[in-house]
C-alpha cells in the first residue's frame, strides 16, 4: 500500500486535452515516440492511449472533445477523468492543445479546464500553417492576458517548439503540482447555480465551484458518483427546478463572451479569401464529381489491398511452407514434430499472412485521415449510411471489408457513436473478403459452365458478382434490422469540422500502421494460434486405435493397388482424416447438414474452414487424397466425379453447389475476425452473437436454396 | 419546435445567427463555434441530401439538416 502511494507521487501524469483534430495525437506521438500503448476504457469502446515521456512522466492522450458539457459517449470519458481525482488518468498537469488556425473554437474547453484549477500549459499547435496563412498572433499579449497560464507555440508536424515544450514539462514535473481554483474564472454563477454549488459543497465537500457545477449537470454520466448519490443529486435538481440545459447554454455563451474580446485583441483579422482547400472542395465535394472521385479512389484502395498485398503474402506463405517441409524432412516423425510442423507453424503463418493487408489498408486510411479527405467522405455519404443505421464513416470499413474484415473492423475506431460502430463491426464480415475467392472459384463451375452471355459477359463472372451483391445486400439489411432493434446509447451526431487540406506527416502515418499491426499480432494473434492448435489436435488424433488402424489399412490398400510413394502418402492422409476426431465430428454433423445437401466430407471442410475460409480447398484436397491444393482444376475434376451414395447422382450438383456457395457468403467462418471483434468490443458477447447470427442465417438460406432446387 | 427553413437554393451566404433552440444538440453546436452573431455561409448540399457543407465565421463544417434546424437565423 505504502509503495503505491510513493509511486503515485513519483510518477506524474501529464494529460493532453483538446478538440478533435487539434493535432493532439501527433503531439502525443512527438512526445512519447514508440513508448506508447492503447488501453480500452472500461465499458466504452473509444480507447485511451498512454505513453512515457520519461521514466517518471506518464503521458495520456485523452479523447478529443469540444466542451466538458459532453453530449456523446467518448466526450463523457474526458469529463469523467477530469472530475474524478481517483481516476487512474487524472492529470497532475494538463497540456491543452489548440489548433492556432481555429483558435476561437478551441477556447471553450480550455476555459473550462482552466476553471477546474489544473496546472495548465497552453500549446498553440500548427504554427507552420498559421505562418503560411500570414496569420498574425501576438503570443506575448496572449500570455499576459492568460497569466499564469504559460503559452507555448509548436508545430507537431514539423517538430518546431517541441523541445521547449518537453523542457517545460520536465521543469514543472519536478515541482509540486496542485489543483487550485483560479482567481479570475471565466464563469459567473447565477443565483440558481450558486445555490447548487453551495449544496454540493455541503453534501460532498467539493471546493471548486466549477467542479460542483459540472457534477450537478452531468451526475447521471459520472462514474465516481454512486447510484444513491446520483438519486440524491437528481432529487435536489428537481426540487429546486434546476434547468440544466438552459444553464449549460448560458455557461457556454458567457465563456464565449469573456474570451472572444481577449482573442480579438491579440489577433489580427485575416482577409476572408477563397483558399486552396475551398477550391479543392468545389470538386471533391461536388454533388456529382465528389462521389465519383471517392469511388474511383476506393477502387484503387481495394486494388492495393487485393493485389499489392498478394506478393508479400505469398512470400510469407512460401517461407513458412519451406520451413515446414524442411523441418518435416529433418525432424523425426513424432507427435511434437507434427505439432510444430502442422500446428504451430501454420498457426503463426495464419497470423502473419494478414499483416500486408492490414498495413496497406491502414497506410491508406491514415493518409485520408491526415490529409483531411476522410471528413469530406463522411460528409458525402453520411445520409446513405444513416438510412441503414450506420454512420458516414462506416462506408470506409464496409469497402475495406471486401479485402479483409480484420483491418476493416480495426478501422471502425473512428466512428464515435458506439451503436453505429457496433453495427458496422457486426455486419462488415458479410462483405465477401478475399479469402472467399478460392472457395467461390472451385464451386462456381458446378453452378454454371464458363459460357459467354450476350457476347461480352462471362457467366461465371456474373455469378461471382452476384455472390458479392448478396453479401452487400445482406449487410445492409441486417444493419437496418439491428438499428431498429438495438438500444441506442446517446443520439447520433454528424457535426464535423472539415479541416484545411494538408500534407500528411510521415511520422504519424507510420506510427498508425505500426500500432495497428502490432495490436493485431499481439492480441488477436494469441486467439488465432490457440484455435489453430485445437484444429490441429482434432485432425491429427482420433478416438482409440482408429488412427493407427486407418493408417495400416491405407498402407495395405496402397500396396494392393501398387501406388507410388506420393499417392500412398495421400491415401494415408485421407484415411487418417476420416478416422480423426475431425472426421468423427464431420460424421456426427452429417444429420444436421444433410438437409442442406452436404455429406460428412463437406462437414470436415466446414469445420476446418473455421480457421480460415480458404482452408476449404486444402481440406477438400486432403479428403479426396489429392495431396496438394495447388491446382483448383484438379480438385474440381475430382469433386465432379464424386457420387452421392444415397441418391446415386453426382455429389456436387447445382443445388448442393449453390447451397454451399451461399453458405460461404453468409456464414461466420473466420476465427481471426471473431478474435478481433472480441478485442474491439471488449467482451465475448458480440463475437458470439455475430457468429450465431451469421451462421444461423447461412444455414437457413442454404437450406431454403437446396430444398427449393432439389 | 424545429425551425423549418428552405435550403433548396444554395449557396446562401452571410446569414447571421440570432439564437439556438434549447437542446443538447445546441450545446454541441455552440461548442463547435456556432454562436449568436456568427456569420454562416451554407455552401452546398451533400450528394445524397440532408447534410450541408457550411462555413461558420470562415470555419468549414458539415451539419445534418436536423442539426442545422436548431439554429435560428436573423
CA atoms within 13 A on the CB side of A574: 20
Exposure string over A70-104, b if 16+ CB within 10 A, otherwise e: bbbbbbbbbbbbbbbeebebbbbbbbbbbbbbbbb
CA distance A55 to A645: 70
User: What mean pLDDT is predicted for residues A229-254?
Assistant: 87
End residue of a domain, out of A108, A140, A173: A173
pLDDT at B31: 81
Asked if the model's pLDDT at residue A270 lies above 80, the reply is: no
- Is A570 a member of any domain? no
A269 interface with B at CB cutoff 8 Å: no
Query: A245 and B45 in contact by Cβ < 8 A?
Result: no
Contact A81, A6 (CB under 8 A): no
Residue A43's pLDDT is what? 36
| CA dihedral of A258, A261, A267, A272, whole degrees rounded to 10 | 100
* Nine-digit cell string for A596: 442442406
Q: Given CB atoms, is A566 within the 8 Å cutoff of chain B?
A: no
Per-residue pLDDT, A4:
42
Could you give the count of Cα atoms lying within 13 Å of B3 in the half-sphere of its Cβ? 17
Q: Which of B26, B49, B53 sits opposite A383 (nearest CB)?
A: B49
Provide the Cα torsion A602, A605, A609, A613; round to 10°: -70
The verdict on residue A632 lying in a domain is yes
Distance of CA A381 to the CA centre of its chain: 20
Please indicate whether, in this complex, the C-beta atoms of B51 and A496 are within 8 angstroms of each other. no
Answer yes or no: is pLDDT of A2 > 60: no
Q: Which fold has domain B12-73?
A: SH3 type barrels. (2.30.30)
Domain stop point among A173, A194, A221? A173
Instruction: Tell me whether residue A640 is in a domain.
Output: yes
Residue B24 exposure: Cα atoms within 13 Å on the Cβ side: 11
What rounded mean pLDDT belongs to chain A?
82
Contact (Cβ atoms closer than 8 angstroms) between residue A679 and residue A621? no
- Best mutation target, A78, A495, A498, A502, to test chain B (most B CBs within 10 A): A495
Could you tell me what percent of chain A has a pLDDT over 90?
16
CB < 8 Å to B14, chain A: none
Per-residue pLDDT at A47 exceeds 80: no
**Closest-CA distance of chain B to residue A131, Å:** 18
**Is A624's pLDDT higher than 80?**
no
Name the pLDDT band for A523 (thresholds 50, 70, 90): low
The verdict on A5 touching B (C-beta cutoff 8 Å) is: no
For residue range A555-593, what is the model confidence (pLDDT) as tens digits? 888 888 877 777 777 778 778 878 888 888 888 988 999
**Spatial distance between the Cα atoms of A111 and A187, rounded to a whole number of angstroms:** 9
Alpha-carbon distance values, A541 to A526, A527, A537, A582, A584 (Å) = 23, 21, 6, 8, 11
The minimal CB distance from B33 to the residues A104, A245, A491 is found for A104
- Encode pLDDT of A312-361 as tens digits: 888 888 888 888 888 888 888 788 887 888 778 877 877 787 788 778 87
Contact B53 A281 (CB under 8 A): yes
Lowest average pLDDT, out of A135-149, A306-320, B1-15, goes to B1-15
Tell me which residue has cell 470562415: B58
Residues of B within 8 A of A378 (CB-CB) are: 62
A23 in any annotated domain: yes
User: Which of B28, B36, B50 has its CB closest to that of A495?
Assistant: B28
CB contact under 8 A, B62 and A495: yes
Q: Is residue A108 part of a domain?
A: yes
- Please report whether residue A40 resides in a domain: yes
**Chain-chain contact of A245 with B29 (C-beta, under 8 angstroms):** no
Instruction: State which of A144, A173, A202 marks the end of a domain.
Output: A173
Is A396 a member of any domain? Answer: no
Q: What ipTM, to 2 d.p.?
A: 0.93
State the pLDDT confidence band at A468, using cuts at 50, 70 and 90.
Answer: confident
Alpha-carbon gap, residue A87 to A80, rounded angstroms? 8
A36 interfacial to chain B (CB closer than 8 Å): no
Structure confidence at residue A479 (pLDDT): 94
The tens digit of pLDDT for each residue in A664-690 reads: 999 998 888 898 899 888 889 999 999
Residue A699 confidence class, pLDDT cut points 50, 70, 90: very high
**Host domain of residue A18:** 2-173
Dihedrals phi, psi of A101, to nearest 5 degrees: -80, -10
A290 falls within a domain: no
- Is the CB of residue A608 less than 8 Å away from at least one CB of chain B? no
Q: HEC string of A613-627?
A: CCHHHHHHHHHCCCC
A187-196, A200-209, B21-30, range with the lowest pLDDT: B21-30
What span, in angstroms and rounded, lies between the C-alpha atoms of A159 and A505? 11
What residues of chain A lie within 8 A of the CB of B49, using their CB? 383
What are the grid coordinates assigned to B44, written together? Answer: 452546398
Q: Residues in chain B whose beta carbon is closer than 8 A to a beta carbon of chain A? A: 20, 22-33, 35-36, 44-51, 53, 57-64, 67
pLDDT of residue B62: 93
* Alpha carbon distance A48, A60 (integer Å): 7
Q: Do B46 and A287 touch (CB under 8 A)?
A: yes
Are A71 and B25 within 8 A, CB to CB? Answer: yes
Is the pLDDT reported for residue A206 higher than 80? Answer: yes
**Is some CB atom of chain B closer than 8 A to the CB atom of A473?**
no
The ranges assigned to domains in chain B are 12-73
Distance from CA of B47 to the nearest CA of A (A): 4
Q: How many domains is chain A partitioned into structurally?
A: 2
Touching check for A495 and chain B: CB below 8 Å?
Answer: yes
Per-residue confidence (pLDDT) for residue A634, from 0 to 100: 65
* Contact flag B27-A491 (C-beta cutoff 8 Å): no
Cell 517545460 belongs to which residue? A168
Q: Tell me: the pLDDT tens digits for A637-669?
A: 777 777 766 666 777 788 888 999 999 999 998
Q: Search chain B and give the residue with CA nearest A379.
A: B62
pLDDT in tens, A412-467: 877 777 888 899 999 999 998 877 877 887 788 777 777 777 766 677 777 878 88
Portion of chain A with pLDDT greater than 70, in percent: 89
All residues of chain B having their beta carbon less than 8 Å from the beta carbon of residue A494 are: 51, 62-64, 67
* B25, closest residue in chain A (CA to CA): A71
Its sign, for the CA torsion A301, A303, A309, A313, is: positive
Amino acid at each position: 500500500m505504502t509503495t503505491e502511494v510513493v509511486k503515485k507521487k513519483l510518477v506524474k501524469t501529464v494529460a493532453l486535452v483538446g478538440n478533435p483534430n487539434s493535432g493532439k495525437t501527433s503531439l502525443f506521438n512527438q512526445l512519447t515516440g514508440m513508448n506508447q500503448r492503447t488501453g480500452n476504457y472500461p465499458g466504452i469502446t473509444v480507447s485511451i492511449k498512454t505513453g512515457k515521456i520519461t521514466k517518471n512522466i506518464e503521458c495520456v492522450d485523452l479523447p478529443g472533445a469540444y466542451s466538458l458539457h459532453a453530449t456523446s459517449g467518448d466526450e463523457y470519458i474526458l469529463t469523467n477523468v477530469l472530475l474524478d481525482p481517483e481516476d487512474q488518468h487524472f492529470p497532475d498537469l494538463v497540456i491543452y492543445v489548440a489548433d492556432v488556425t481555429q483558435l476561437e473554437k478551441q477556447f471553450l474547453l480550455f476555459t473550462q479546464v482552466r476553471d477546474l484549477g489544473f496546472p495548465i500549459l497552453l500549446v498553440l499547435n500548427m504554427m507552420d500553417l498559421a505562418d503560411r496563412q500570414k496569420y498574425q498572433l501576438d503570443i506575448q499579449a496572449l500570455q499576459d492576458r492568460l497569466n499564469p497560464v504559460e503559452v507555448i507555440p509548436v508545430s507537431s508536424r514539423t517538430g518546431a517548439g517541441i523541445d521547449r515544450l518537453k523542457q517545460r514539462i520536465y521543469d514543472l514535473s519536478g515541482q509540486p503540482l496542485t489543483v487550485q481554483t483560479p482567481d479570475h474564472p471565466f464563469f459567473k454563477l447565477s443565483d440558481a447555480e450558486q445555490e447548487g454549488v453551495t449544496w454540493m459543497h455541503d453534501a460532498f465537500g467539493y471546493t471548486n465551484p466549477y467542479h460542483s457545477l459540472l457534477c450537478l449537470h452531468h451526475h447521471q454520466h459520472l462514474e465516481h458518483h454512486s447510484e444513491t448519490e446520483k438519486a440524491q443529486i437528481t432529487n435536489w435538481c428537481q426540487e429546486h427546478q434546476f434547468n440544466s440545459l438552459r444553464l449549460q447554454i448560458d455557461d457556454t455563451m458567457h465563456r464565449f463572451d469573456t474570451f472572444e474580446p481577449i482573442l480579438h485583441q491579440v489577433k489580427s483579422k485575416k482577409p476572408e479569401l477563397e483558399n486552396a482547400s475551398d477550391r479543392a472542395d468545389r470538386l471533391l465535394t461536388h454533388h456529382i464529381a465528389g462521389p465519383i472521385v471517392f469511388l474511383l479512389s476506393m477502387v484503387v484502395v481495394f486494388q492495393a489491398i487485393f493485389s499489392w498485398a498478394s506478393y508479400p503474402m505469398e512470400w510469407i506463405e512460401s517461407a513458412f511452407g519451406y520451413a515446414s517441409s524442411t523441418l518435416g524432412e529433418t525432424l523425426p516423425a513424432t507427435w511434437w514434430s507434427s505439432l510444430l510442423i502442422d500446428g504451430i507453424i501454420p498457426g503463426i503463418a495464419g497470423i502473419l499472412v494478414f499483416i500486408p493487408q492490414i498495413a496497406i489498408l491502414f497506410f491508406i486510411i491514415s493518409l485520408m485521415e491526415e490529409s483531411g479527405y476522410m471528413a469530406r467522405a463522411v460528409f458525402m455519404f453520411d445520409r446513405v449510411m444513416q438510412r441503414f443505421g450506420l454512420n458516414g464513416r462506416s462506408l470506409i470499413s464496409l469497402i475495406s471489408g471486401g479485402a479483409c474484415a480484420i483491418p476493416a473492423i480495426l478501422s471502425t475506431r473512428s466512428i464515435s457513436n458506439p451503436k453505429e460502430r457496433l453495427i458496422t463491426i457486426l455486419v462488415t464480415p458479410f462483405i465477401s473478403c478475399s479469402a472467399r475467392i478460392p472457395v467461390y472459384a472451385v464451386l462456381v463451375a458446378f453452378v454454371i459452365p464458363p459460357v459467354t452471355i450476350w457476347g461480352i459477359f462471362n457467366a461465371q463472372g456474373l455469378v461471382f458478382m452476384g455472390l458479392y451483391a448478396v453479401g452487400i445486400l445482406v449487410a445492409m439489411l441486417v444493419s437496418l434490422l439491428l438499428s431498429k432493434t438495438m438500444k441506442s446509447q446517446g443520439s447520433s451526431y454528424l457535426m464535423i469540422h472539415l479541416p484545411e487540406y494538408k500534407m500528411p506527416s510521415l511520422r504519424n502515418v507510420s506510427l498508425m500502421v505500426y500500432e495497428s499491426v502490432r495490436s493485431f499480432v499481439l492480441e488477436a494473434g494469441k486467439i488465432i494460434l490457440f484455435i489453430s492448435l485445437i484444429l490441429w489436435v482434432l485432425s491429427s488424433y482420433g478416438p482409440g486405435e482408429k488412427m493407427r488402424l486407418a493408417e495400416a489399412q491405407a498402407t495395405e490398400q496402397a500396396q494392393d493397388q501398387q501406388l507410388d510413394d506420393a499417392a500412398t502418402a495421400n491415401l494415408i492422409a485421407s484415411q487418417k482424416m476420416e478416422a480423426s476426431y475431425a472426421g468423427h465430428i464431420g460424421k456426427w454433423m452429417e444429420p444436421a447438414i444433410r438437409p442442406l445437401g452436404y455429406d460428412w466430407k463437406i462437414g470436415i471442410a466446414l469445420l476446418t474452414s473455421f480457421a480460415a475460409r480458404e482452408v476449404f480447398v486444402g481440406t477438400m484436397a486432403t479428403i479426396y487424397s489429392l495431396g496438394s491444393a495447388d491446382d483448383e482444376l484438379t480438385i474440381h475434376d475430382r469433386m465432379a466425379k464424386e457420387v452421392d451414395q444415397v441418391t446415386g447422382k453426382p455429389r456436387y450438383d447445382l443445388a448442393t453447389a449453390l447451397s454451399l456457395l451461399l453458405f460461404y457468403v453468409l456464414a461466420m467462418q473466420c476465427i481471426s475476425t471473431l478474435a478481433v471483434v472480441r478485442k474491439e468490443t471488449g467482451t465475448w458477447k458480440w463475437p458470439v452473437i455475430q457468429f450465431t447470427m451469421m451462421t444461423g442465417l447461412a444455414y437457413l438460406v442454404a437450406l431454403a436454396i437446396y430444398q427449393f432446387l432439389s | 419546435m424545429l425551425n423549418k427553413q428552405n435550403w433548396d437554393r444554395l449557396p446562401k451566404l452571410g446569414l447571421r445567427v440570432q439564437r439556438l433552440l434549447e437542446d443538447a444538440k445546441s450545446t454541441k453546436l455552440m461548442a463547435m463555434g456556432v454562436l449568436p452573431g456568427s456569420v454562416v455561409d451554407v455552401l452546398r448540399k451533400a450528394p445524397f441530401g440532408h447534410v450541408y457543407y457550411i462555413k461558420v465565421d470562415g470555419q468549414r463544417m458539415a451539419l445534418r439538416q436536423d442539426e442545422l434546424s436548431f439554429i435560428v437565423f436573423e
